[in-house]
Amino acid sequence: MAAAKYAFGIDLGGTTIKHGLFSADGELIEKWEIPTRSEENGKNVIPDIAASITAKLKEKKISTKDVIGIGIDVPGPVLENGIVNQCVNLGWGVTDVAAELSGLLDGIRVEACNDANAAALGEQWKGGGQGYQNAVMVTLGTGVGGGIILNGRILPGANGAGGEIGHIKVRDDEEDYCGCGKKGCLEQYTSANGITRMAHKYLDKTKKKTLLVNDDKLSSKKIFDAAKAGDEVSLAIIDDFGKTLGEALAGIAAVIDPEVFVIGGGVSKAGKIVLDVIQKYYKPAAFHACRNVVFKLAELGNDAGMYGAVKMVL
Ligand SMILES: [Zn+2]
C-alpha cells in the first residue's frame, strides 16, 4: 500500500469552522469554511465537520485510506488525551471530539487540541516561530491567549489550561473584574480591549494635548497609530502596556526558557512598535540567561489554528 497522501486541519470556532486540506508534506491544497451550528448544545457540530470532509474526499476522489489523519482545535480546554473539558460557546460538556469524529469517518485518526495552542503550533511550524523548537505564542486580541510549544509539541497541561497566560495576575489594585471572574489579570491591561480600557482611564484624568478622542470609538489601533505619529499620551499608554506585558513575559521566560516569543492577534498588526515596547521592559526584567530571547510577529493570521491542527497528525 502506498503511503497516505493527505491530511486535514480543522479550526473549530464559535461562528465558523475552517477546514484545510493539506498534502503529506504540509502544503495547504485548499481551504474552506462552514458555519458553526452551536444551537442545541452544539450537537450538529461534529456531524457537520464529518459531512464537510466526506464531501471534499468525494469531490477530490480521495479514499479515506489516503488520509493520514485529521487535526482539530476547539475553543476550550483540551486534555492531553484529546478529551474536551467543556466548551462553553459550543454548549459542549466533556466531549471526546477525536473519537466521535473518527467514528463518523471510517476510523481515520483524529487528534484534538485547544485553539490557542493550535495557533501556537501553527506559528512555530510555518509562521513567525519557524526554525525554533521552543516557542511561546501570545495572542493579543479581545482577550490575551497563549500557547506553549516545547520541542515542537504543545504543552496542554494537566487540566488543558497550559498557556493560559491572559489570566496571570499582574496587579493587585484592580477594581474591575476580568472575564474569568478575578481581578488584575494580564488581559485586563494588554488585550485590545484592555489597552483601550486603560486609555480611557488615562484620558479621564490627563489635561495633556493628544490626538486621541476619549469616546467609545477609541481602539487599540487608534492608540498605536497615534503613538507612531509621536503623540505623547499614546506613547505613555503603550509604554504602560509594554511594561505590563514585558515583565509578565520575563516571568514566563524564567519558567519555560523559550527560544522565541511570537506575538499575534489584532494588536500585533501595529507591527514592530509592539515588539519594541515589549522588549524595552522584557530585557531588564528577564533572568540573565534568557534575556536575548527572540521576539517575532505572528505571520499566519486566522489560518494559524488550521496549520497547528494539521501539524498534530503530520
Ligand atoms: Zn482573568
Q: How far is the CA of 141 from the centre of ligand 1 (A)?
A: 14
Q: How far is the CA of 19 from the centre of ligand 1 (A)?
A: 30
CA distance 266 to 262: 13
3-state SS class at 96: coil
pLDDT-derived band at 2 (thresholds 50, 70, 90) equals low
CA distance 94 to 159: 12
What pLDDT digit, counting tens, does each position of 187-217 carry?
A: 999 999 999 999 999 999 999 999 999 999 9
What pLDDT digit, counting tens, does each position of 153-168 carry?
A: 999 888 888 999 999 9
Q: How far is the CA of 262 from the centre of ligand 1 (A)?
A: 21
The domain defined by 6-121+304-311 carries CATH number 3.30.420.40: yes
Question: Which DSSP string corresponds to 254-291?
Answer: HHH--SEEEEESGGGGGTHHHHHHHHHHHHHHS-GGGT
Q: How far is the CA of 168 from the centre of ligand 1 (A)?
A: 7
Domains 6-121+304-311 and 130-298 share a fold: yes
Q: How far is the CA of 99 from the centre of ligand 1 (A)?
A: 31
Q: Tell me, what DSSP letter sits at residue 191? A: S
The pLDDT assigned to 160 comes to 84
CA distance 164 to 81: 18
Nine-digit cell string for 109: 485518526
CA distance 67 to 251: 42
Q: Which amino acid is at 291?
A: R
3-state SS class at 250: helix
The domain defined by 130-298 carries CATH number 3.30.1360.70: no
The residue among 312, 296, 242, 241 whose CA lies nearest residue 127 is: 296
Q: How far is the CA of 163 from the centre of ligand 1 (A)?
A: 13
- Domain range summary for the chain, segments of one domain joined by +: 6-121+304-311, 130-298
How far from 285 is each of 87, 115, 272, 289, CA to CA, in Å?
Answer: 36, 30, 20, 12
Q: How far is the CA of 266 from the centre of ligand 1 (A)?
A: 19
